[in-house]
Amino acid sequence: MEYNTSRGPMAIAEYGRNIQQMIEYIITIEDREKRTKAAKFIVNVMAQMHPQVKESGDYKHKLWDHLFLISDFKLDVDAPFPPPPPQVLSAKPEPISRSTNEIKYRHYGRNITLMIEKASAYEEGAEKDALAKVIANHMKKSYLNWNRDSVTDELIEEQLGILSNGALKLKENTRLSATSDILAQNKKRRPFRPKENSSQNYRGRRKQQ
């Protein structure tokens, strides 16, 4: 009896060992035409094993690539697609680009920064003034979300001016949302978390009754 521990590793485990053995066998077929015909048969079997692959437009190309990978690039057939280069196995993914723009006040986040950039481009007028007030209220809510008990409207206005490079200003006598109202709303949004032993205490009281 042959055990998996005594067998070689599988190139792509999702196709199973039988597919791998079939591919290893057709490599030994001397007749190129027969070898190509057998390769096409195996590709069709691979497609039936994983029908979800058909959801992608280039699924046939992927299956042929997998065929060559499993063969360790030793299979020489007349394929509808060129085999991938062996270097594909050692290729590293492209690094994910990160924004180099630093957020001056992290508690406001990227979205508010983008809102400020958009609003700063507006022409002076009532619409820009309204946007400045809306953004300032969002800033105040974000500030208080960071476990801060209070913040003055003057500080929000000052930081709005800094983030907008002076392009956004609150009109004189503008009043932002009250700190107490924002804290009350934040408290309502927090999910209820029962104490760890509450269920045990309840069962204990039931037993005592």
Place of tokens 């029962």: 194
**Window from 99-113, 143-157, 172-186 with minimum mean pLDDT:** 99-113
Higher pLDDT, 56 or 11: 11
Higher pLDDT, 153 or 195: 153
Q: Provide the whole-model pTM.
A: 0.44
Structure tokens at 142: 């974000």
**Mean pLDDT, rounded, of the chain:** 81
Q: What is the mean pLDDT of residues 69-83?
A: 92
Length of the chain: 209
Distance from C-alpha of 170 to C-alpha of 136, rounded to nearest angstrom: 8
Residues sharing a CB contact under 8 Å with residue 169, sequence separation 6 or more, in sequence order: 132, 157, 160, 161
- What 8-state DSSP symbol labels residue 12? S
So what's the pLDDT on residue 198? Answer: 46
Within 13 Å, how many C-alpha atoms sit on residue 4's CB side?
6
Distance from C-alpha of 65 to C-alpha of 81, rounded to nearest angstrom: 8
Q: What is the mean pLDDT of residues 135-141?
A: 91
Distance from C-alpha of 172 to C-alpha of 170, rounded to nearest angstrom: 6
Helix (H, G, I), strand (E, B) or coil at 82: coil
CA proximity to 39, closest of 24, 50, 23, 15: 23
- What 8-state DSSP symbol labels residue 28? T
Greatest alpha-carbon pair distance for the chain in Å reads 90
Task: Give the pLDDT band of residue 199 (cuts 50, 70, 90).
Answer: very low
Residue 104 has pLDDT above 80, yes or no: no
What digits encode the pLDDT tens for the residues 140-149? 988 888 766 6
CA proximity to 69, closest of 10, 151, 115: 10
So what's the pLDDT on residue 87? Answer: 81
Distance from C-alpha of 32 to C-alpha of 83, rounded to nearest angstrom: 16
In contact, 72 and 66? CB cutoff 8 Å: no
So what's the pLDDT on residue 70? Answer: 93
Residue 37 has pLDDT above 90, yes or no: yes
What digits encode the pLDDT tens for the residues 164-198? 999 999 988 888 988 888 877 767 665 545 555 54
So what's the pLDDT on residue 11? Answer: 83
